[in-house]
Amino acid sequence: MARTKFDQLPNELVLNILGYLTSLDAWFAFHNLNTRLNNSLQNSSMKIDLSLCRRFQCDFTYRYILPRIQNPFAIRFCPRIMDESTYQFFIELKSNNVEYKLQVLTLTHITEQSMNIIAQHLNRLVNLRSLTIMHDHEEFYGKFINTFMNTNMPRLVYLTLGYTERSSSLYVYEGNLDRLRSTIPNIQNFILKVPISFNTFHRLLNVLPQLVSIEVHLTERSINEIKKNSYNRDFARNLQKLVMTINGIIRFKIIEQLLRALPHLHTFWLSTFICDNSYGTEYQDGKVWEGLIRKYLRNLIDFRLNVGLESTQSISPADIMQPFRSSFWIKEKQWCFVADRPENDVDTIELYSLPPPVNSKIIFRPNVQWVSNSSNPNFQSARMLGLLPTLDRSASRTARNRRYTNVTTLHTASVNNSNHDYDVSIVFDYVDLTKVRNCIISVSEFIESLSVMINLTSLTIRCYDGNIEYFKKISSPIYTLKKLFLSKSMHCYYYNRNDMKIITHLFPNLEYIELRISEFESLPILMNGLPHLVYAIIYNEPEVIDEEHLKQWLHKKEPIMKFMWSVDDKKLDIWFDG
């Protein structure tokens, strides 16, 4: 009977089941059903996720799944601290003779050591078409990118390079860019999530003229004059999609000169924040954009902006919106824009399109005036929201038609003024919190709303002190939460054994956690109270917890609790085995 029901399941569902089972459970689940499982593995194009799994799940994949793969497949892998696991990963691909079948590879939380191992094996993946490498920490000059440039991947079409955490002022050393001509000669889609200068970006387009799509993060650097003759007919001749984020101030005329040389562009997204109104007013000028698009970007069909510019007393959101009310925007292109003045710390006027650029955060404050060139702007198209508190609770009111009902990532800003407050009941009128999956909280008043977020999977607490008392505002356990980051607070709060009991009660299904502890006794409570925990990063001060003492304690507990670990003078990494 069980086999009959099992045979009715789609292949994709059968394979996905493996991600939720231990090796022992999988054995019983597929007992006497191995023929069906083998057929699924041999006839399907698999997507394997080893980014957050226990050791036995890796072993099960290596021993049972990889030997039976017959078709091109994709895999996501996260070596974390275990450099030997990175080496084993590539050895298993080779020993199971599936290197040539791997077409999509995603590597996250890469360290300098693991990157060196990866670079040695990438050349063997001769049929790889898509590669993503996200480094764990910022490096000077983007060292890991230079390491990657020494690999040869002739069939690679999609490439993403970046840092797991948001990078700041780091940039790529452009001296090695010419290597890309030979190492990735067929690359067409490039996402570079590492800040680079405009000159580096310009050179990159010259080195890779075959690019069809590129996403870059430009940083403010001294910009050498780009001569007009460098934008010849062959410059980026195949480029159709450009996604650009600017950190700092790059004069509009430089971007304008670039866009004039890209007549085949059909998609252009731009996000920037300018805290000096003496620069960059053209970025919010609808008349300037209209003239540029009409004359040089005639093939443009997808144009998105998210521009924050320091406001002045003489210009209002209505003034910004007026040029966007022309027939070009409303009738010909039918592109919708919104402008408001959220009165944030820098006091900017925010101009953004609907839909906004993907992964671009909309700055939003309830009960402030806004204007649009559309009678029915599609606020539902926004996915990431930077939520500011209401200015005056007594004046709080819901703005007509301004509901962000599909937000999945929510950032809350800290409160710097007594007149600013989070009225959670008012927030409910603007945002559908039941759809939020990723939440970053910087103010304690908002923590009580977590119980409403029934689909929340990732939570980061950045409150000033990060005190455990805030969690007592949560009315019931959050069973959907998988990742919890408690080490991002401005003030270092160290959790004790009593705090651990609260955390394990409120978030019983955690798979990943980062926090600070004040005593040894907190560790077993954490480990025993979270049965699904896969990975933990524990920060401690050397004067509070002695490193040698900690090593002895871990070595004593390891045979019983089944985990692998690494410790230094700043943190303890634990990867749970079973």
| Closest residue by Cα to residue 107 from 140, 83, 126, 124 | 83
345, with CB counted inside 10 A (0-12, 13-18, 19+), is exposed
Q: How far apart are CA 523 and CA 531, in angstroms?
A: 13
Residue 16 has pLDDT above 90, yes or no: no
Nearest to 180 by CA among 202, 155, 148, 212: 148
> Using CA atoms, how far apart are residues 418 and 325, in angstroms rounded to an integer?
38
Give the angle subtended at the CA of 77 by the CAs of 439 and 407, to the nearest 5°: 20
Please check the confidence at residue 176 and state whether its pLDDT lies above 60: yes
Mean pLDDT value across residues 186-199: 91
- What confidence tier does 139 reach under pLDDT thresholds 50, 70, 90? low
Q: Report the pLDDT value the prediction gives residue 169, as an integer from 0 to 100.
A: 52
- In percent, the amount of the chain with pLDDT more than 70 equals 80
Structure tokens at 180: 């890309």
pLDDT tens-place string over residues 250-268: 899 999 999 999 999 999 9
Residue 94's pLDDT is: 92
Question: Strand 73-77 relative to strand 102-110: parallel, antiparallel, unpaired?
Answer: parallel
Which of 176-190, 395-409, 457-471, 486-500 has the weakest average pLDDT? 395-409
- Check pLDDT > 80 for residue 548: no
Tell me what pLDDT residue 483 has: 95
Residue type, 232: N
**Has residue 403 got a pLDDT over 80?**
yes
Per-residue confidence (pLDDT) for residue 396, from 0 to 100: 47
Inform me whether the pLDDT recorded for 299 exceeds 70: yes
Structure tokens at 450: 């977590």
Q: What is the mean pLDDT of residues 548-560?
A: 70
Task: Give the mean model confidence (pLDDT) for residues 453-461.
Answer: 94
SS3 label, residue 193: strand
Can you tell me the distance from the alpha carbon of 356 to that of 383, in angstroms, rounded to the nearest whole number?
9
pLDDT at 102 over 90: yes
Q: What is the mean pLDDT of residues 222-228?
A: 57
Long-range residue pairs from 251-259, CB within 8 A, at least 24 positions apart, any chain: 251/279, 251/280, 252/280, 252/282, 252/283, 252/288, 253/282, 254/198, 254/223, 254/226, 256/282, 256/292, 257/226, 257/228, 257/231, 258/202, 258/226, 258/231, 259/292, 259/296, 259/297
pTM over 0.85: yes
Residue 4: which pLDDT band, with cuts at 50, 70 and 90?
very low
Q: Is the pLDDT of residue 281 over 80?
A: yes
Q: Which two tokens stand for residue 370?
A: 């806004």
Q: Which residues contact 523 (CB under 8 A, 6 or more apart)?
A: 517, 538, 553
**pLDDT average, residue stretch 290-315:** 94
Helix H, strand E, coil C: the string for 119-162 is HHHHCCCCCCCEEEEEECCCCHHHHHHHHHCCCCCCCCCEEEEE
Please name the residue that has the structure tokens 């490498």.
Answer: 133
**C-beta of residue 420 within 8 angstroms of C-beta of residue 396:** no
Question: With 90 as the cut, is the pLDDT of residue 532 above it?
Answer: no
Highest mean pLDDT among 139-143, 226-230, 252-256: 252-256
> Who wins on pLDDT, 94 or 1?
94
pLDDT of residue 225: 56
* Residues 449/424, Cβ–Cβ less than 8 Å: yes
How high is the pLDDT of residue 414?
67
Which of the given ranges, 52-56, 212-216, 564-568, has the highest pLDDT on average?
A: 212-216
Which residue's structure tokens are 């609260």? 502
Adjacency order of strands within the sheet including 563-567: 362-364, 384-387, 409-412, 438-441, 458-461, 483-485, 512-516, 535-539, 571-576, 563-567
Q: What is the pLDDT of residue 24?
A: 47
pLDDT bin (cut points 50, 70, 90) of residue 306 is very high
Picking from 44-58, 181-195, 432-446, which range would have the lowest pLDDT averaged per residue?
44-58
Mean pLDDT computed over every residue of the chain: 83
Is the per-residue pLDDT at 493 higher than 70? Answer: yes
* pLDDT single digits (tens) 322-375: 999 999 999 999 999 999 998 887 888 999 999 999 999 999 988 788 999 999
CA distances from 32 to 4, 35, 38, 498 (A): 12, 8, 12, 47
Write the DSSP string, 395-442.
G--PPTT--BTT--EEEEPPP-STT-B--HHHHHHHB-GGG--EEEE-
Please give the C-alpha separations between residue 51 and each of 18, 107, 134, 136, 484, in angstroms, as whole numbers.
14, 8, 12, 13, 16
The span from the CA of 133 to the CA of 129, in Å, is: 13
pLDDT at 2: 42
pLDDT exceeds 90 at position 48: no
Q: How far apart are CA 329 and CA 287, in angstroms?
A: 10
Assign 308 a pLDDT band (cuts: 50, 70, 90): very high
pLDDT confidence of residue 143: 75
Q: Is the pLDDT of residue 6 over 90?
A: no
pLDDT in tens, 508-525: 999 999 998 888 778 888
Q: How many residues comprise the chain?
A: 578
Q: 512-533 burial string, b = 16+ CB within 10 Å, else e?
A: bbbbbbbebebbebbbebbeeb
* The predicted structure's pLDDT at residue 286: 97
pLDDT of residue 100: 93
Strands 563-567 and 571-576: antiparallel
| Domain assignments of the chain as residue spans, ordered by start | 478-578
pLDDT, position 177 = 81
Q: Torsions phi, psi of 142, nearest 5?
A: 55, 55
Q: Write out the H or E segment, with its range, that includes residue 306.
A: strand 302-310
Instruction: Compute the distance between CA of residue 461 and CA of residue 273 in angstroms, rounded to an integer.
Output: 24
**Alpha-carbon dihedral of residues 80, 84, 90, 95, nearest 10 degrees?**
-140
Q: Is the pLDDT of residue 49 over 70?
A: yes
Asked whether residue 191 carries a pLDDT value surpassing 80, the answer given is: yes
Higher pLDDT, 109 or 224: 109
Contact between residue 540 and residue 572 where contact means Cβ atoms under 8 Å apart: yes
Contact indicator for 15, 535 with CB cutoff of 8 Å = no
Residues 6+ apart with CB under 8 A from 303: 267, 268, 269, 289, 293, 333, 335, 353
pLDDT greater than 50 at residue 536: yes
Instruction: Name the band, by pLDDT with cuts 50, 70 and 90, for residue 556.
Output: confident
Backbone phi, then psi, for 576, in 5-degree steps?
A: -80, 135
Given the structure tokens 């387009």, which residue do they identify? 205
Number of CB atoms found within 10 A of residue 198's CB? 23
- Looking up tokens 């410790």 gives 567
pLDDT band per the 50, 70, 90 thresholds, residue 221: low
- Of residues 270 and 431, more confidence is placed in 270
